[in-house]
Structure 1
Amino acid sequence: MIRGVDHIELIVRDFDEYIEFLKTLGMKVLTHTSHHGESAELQAPGENQPIFEIHQAIGEEVIGVNHIAFRVDDVKAADKVLAKTKIDSKPPNYVEATGRTTINLRDPDGWRMQLVDAKREDPA
């Protein structure tokens, strides 16, 4: 089912400071949008590196790792597999801002994870 790590979402105290920090470490900014208040996707050099999705904390959100997302070839097929288990998951959700369909779930310890379409659609 899982094809690899897609992205790791971080909620940060100071968006601009964090982006500069990651750029200083050598990451490249791929996108910068207003998704979730303010959002950017960065990636380290090299092939098949996961994306770090950075969001500004809003309100009472906890700073730190929000979730880890894994690429799957078919979100609907993954949903059918999950439906036959006791895994705490939500139905597939199309995210217009990213052009992707996701499934949010929790691991046995309650940590947030996500399954996401391997291919991105143009959200325009």
Structure 2
Amino acid sequence: MIPIKRIHHAAIICSDYEKSKHFYVNILGLTVHNETYRAERNSYKLDLRVGGIYQIELFSFPEAPVRSSYPEARGLRHLAFEVDDVEAAAARLTAQGVQVEPIRVDETSGKRFTFFTDPDGLPLELYEA
């Protein structure tokens, strides 16, 4: 058994770096930890802090292929962010022009949640603490 302590980061490849950077920093409010331009790859790597503990790495690669994604397809289904008030967080996203699904209730936990997408259609979730 490997003594895994926690998830270190999630990595996202975007199609439009500036648009995605704006979304994750200005709309979602994630904190920029480090931004690097890698000239040899014509690529940016943006390290974003989530809640002071976790990290999202946002990458740009020229002509990155589109990945087919369907809600029930194999692989990563979505990335979820914990919030104190899902209704208030969804309202803030909506005010920024982000389309948010109706709020639902998790049958198992009784917690409220909703889904929305990033600029590339990556499914994201707000899950109430």
Relative to the length of structure 1, the TM-score reads 0.46
Higher Cα Rg, which structure: 2
Relative to the length of structure 2, the TM-score reads 0.45
Structure having the larger proportion of residues in strand: 1
RCO higher in 1 or 2 (8 Å CA, sep ≥ 6)? 1
